[in-house]
Amino acid sequence: MNYSKESIALHLKSRGKIEIRSKVSLKTKNDLSLAYTPGVAAVCTEIGHDKTKSFTLTNRANQVAIVSDGTAILGLGNLGPEAAMPVMEGKSIIFKSFADIDAIPLCINSTDVDDIVKFCKLIEPSFGGINLEDISAPRCFEILERLENELSIPVFHDDQDGTAIVTLAAMINACRVTGRNLNELHVVINGAGAAGIAIARLLIYAEVKDVVLVDTQGAIYEGRPGMNPIKQAIARVSNRAKHKGDLQSTMTGADVFVGVSKGNIVTESMVKGMKSEPFIFAMANPTPEIMPDLAFRAGASIVGTGRSDFPNQVNNALVFPGLFKGLLKTGIKQVTPEIKMAVASSIAYSIKPTHDKLMPTAFNKKVVENIVAVISEISLNSVIAPAA
């Protein structure tokens, strides 16, 4: 199938992918009086006296805002907020189909950090959570950190931590299939944007042996000139050997390659230079850093990509529906490293993995159920204090 051509035809035919439907009947004058004036005035008064009742008397407790400025759309780059809408609508239907959450795309016409933070603060009364999406690095890190501190509802940047969680889940299952251990793995990550930095942070927290990030200037190491503060911070806790080479030299002897960069930049010889039977997670979209057949031919043991038309898709659609369902159910405000680890493990153990079926699909209902269960358990054990 020509997915590009067929997708355009689908969007033209349906004029996008989402709509709003009523949950109550509106067929009589009595229906209208209950749903709108005069009856709704009593509901407004209740919320006016106690704002927390907005979570029980409106749809707020099941409503998530998907906020994007369109600066980092898939692997396409900065195409603007209008071009981000098809992706955000796609996330909306994934939220609804897999977790029965109503998610509203809000693509905004500003790339200014203060503007985006202010926008999210202004819309907070309408939503139970905010999903940041396709906002470029390094601004996305500051935006997320500020919103986590300044809002009373959970905020999650899917490109950062959603990708990190699903990558860790894939690595857990790759170890299960091959009999290896996470703490023995030397990992190379190509791409030091939102996803790459977040993956590195979570893998370090998971205590892999070492993580080396590579950007367009080569390996990131402590003291390398010209790095932004985010890269300087990750350099202090990664690349213990302070390797200073390019991608090819950095991959030499590594156990795992994780690509969150651009297509066709990894060659067979680069894979052959890694340790025997490495894991390759080439997740650039729409074109992986190396095609699976080439990676296998070069000796890879496990190969995953971000594409749904190849085996072993590693995609954050496995994360955000269940994660937000769990957060909305429990009232937990912040997604801590402990929660990320638990969610990754719950995704991994939703199936018994094989080389060709490493990950559950987004259609596996156990995934959302398991994520909600593990977040609920964390909440009940009071490891995390619920939001006020």
| pLDDT tens by residue, 207-240 | 999 999 999 999 999 999 999 999 999 999 999 9
| Judgement on whether residues 311 and 226 belong to the same structural domain of the protein | yes
Residue 88 is encoded by which pair of tokens? 């955000």
Backbone angles phi, psi at 141, to 5 degrees: -70, -45
Is pTM beyond 0.85 here? Answer: yes
| Judgement on whether residues 196 and 305 belong to the same structural domain of the protein | yes
Mean pLDDT of 355-376: 95
Q: Check 5, 23, 27, 36 and give the catalytic one.
A: 36
Reported as a single tens digit per residue, the pLDDT across 325-360 is: 999 999 999 999 999 999 999 999 999 999 999 999
Tell whether 9 is covered by a domain. Answer: no
Tell whether 228 is covered by a domain. Answer: yes
CA distance 113 to 163: 22
Tell whether 199 is covered by a domain. Answer: yes
Residue 211 pairs in a beta bridge with 187
Final residue in a domain of this structure, among 105, 127, 153: 153
Query: Does 78 carry a binding-site annotation?
Result: no
Mean pLDDT of 188-213: 96
Tell whether 3 is covered by a domain. Answer: no
CATH code assigned at 194: 3.40.50.720
Query: Does 255 carry a binding-site annotation?
Result: no
366 labelled catalytic = no
Reported as a single tens digit per residue, the pLDDT across 289-316 is: 999 999 999 999 999 999 888 999 999 9
| Judgement on whether residues 240 and 134 belong to the same structural domain of the protein | no
Final residue in a domain of this structure, among 109, 130, 153: 153
Q: Which pLDDT band, with edges at 50, 70 and 90, does 385 fall under?
A: very low
CA distance 343 to 89: 24
| Judgement on whether residues 318 and 188 belong to the same structural domain of the protein | yes
Q: Is 47 exposed, middle or buried (0-12, 13-18, 19+ CB in 10 A)?
A: middle
User: What order of strands is seen across the sheet that includes strand 218-219?
Assistant: 218-219, 210-215, 186-190, 256-259, 279-282, 302-305
For residue 234, how many other CB atoms are within 10 A of its CB? Answer: 23
| Judgement on whether residues 308 and 188 belong to the same structural domain of the protein | yes
36 labelled catalytic = yes
pLDDT given for residue 382 in this prediction: 56
Number of domains composing the chain = 2
| Judgement on whether residues 241 and 312 belong to the same structural domain of the protein | yes
Query: Does 309 carry a binding-site annotation?
Result: no
Query: Does 246 carry a binding-site annotation?
Result: no
For residue 42, how many other CB atoms are within 10 A of its CB? Answer: 9
Q: Which of 70-84, 312-326, 372-386 has the highest mean pLDDT?
A: 312-326
| Judgement on whether residues 60 and 84 belong to the same structural domain of the protein | yes
Write the CB contacts of 225 (distance below 8 Å, at least 6 apart in sequence): none
| Judgement on whether residues 350 and 316 belong to the same structural domain of the protein | yes
Final residue in a domain of this structure, among 129, 153, 177: 153
pLDDT given for residue 384 in this prediction: 45
Reported as a single tens digit per residue, the pLDDT across 117-175 is: 999 999 999 999 999 999 998 899 999 999 999 999 999 998 899 999 999 999 999 99
- Of 74, 101, 94, the closest CA to residue 159 belongs to 74
| Judgement on whether residues 316 and 176 belong to the same structural domain of the protein | yes
Q: Rounded to a whole number, what is the distance in angstroms from the first to the last CA of the chain?
A: 49
> Which range marks the domain in which residue 254 is found?
159-388
Q: Which pLDDT band, with edges at 50, 70 and 90, does 386 fall under?
A: very low
Q: Cβ distance 369 to 347 under 8 Å?
A: no
Reported as a single tens digit per residue, the pLDDT across 25-70 is: 999 999 999 999 999 999 999 999 999 999 999 999 999 999 999 9
Tell whether 2 is covered by a domain. Answer: no
Tell whether 4 is covered by a domain. Answer: no
Identify the residue with better confidence: 77 or 47.
47
| Judgement on whether residues 105 and 187 belong to the same structural domain of the protein | no
Q: SS3 letters for the chain?
A: CCHHHHHHHHHHHHCCCCCCCCCCCCCCHHHHHHHCCCCHHHHHHHHHHCHHHHHHHCHHHHEEEEEECCCCECCCECCCHHHHHHHHHHHHHHHHHHHCCEEEEEECCCCCHHHHHHHHHHHHHHCCEEEECCCCCCHHHHHHHHHHHHCCCCEEEHHHHHHHHHHHHHHHHHHHHHCCCHHHCEEEEECCCHHHHHHHHHHHHCCCCEEEEEECCEECCCCCCCCCHHHHHHHCCCCCCCCCCCHHHHHCCCCEEEECCCCCCCCHHHHHCCCCCCEEEECCCCCCCCCHHHHHHCCCCEEEECCCCCCCECCHHHCHHHHHHHHHHHCECCCCHHHHHHHHHHHHCCCCCCCCCCCCCCCCHHHHHHHHHHHHHHHHCCCCCECC
CA distance 227 to 337: 25
pLDDT given for residue 181 in this prediction: 96
Whether pLDDT at 388 is above 70: no
Q: Which pLDDT band, with edges at 50, 70 and 90, does 387 fall under?
A: very low
Q: Check 91, 325, 333, 340 and give the catalytic one.
A: 91
Query: Distances from the Cα of 87 to the Cαs of 93, 116, 212, in angstroms?
Result: 10, 19, 30
Mean pLDDT of 187-196: 94
Query: Does 228 carry a binding-site annotation?
Result: no
| Judgement on whether residues 111 and 175 belong to the same structural domain of the protein | no
Whether pLDDT at 182 is above 90: yes
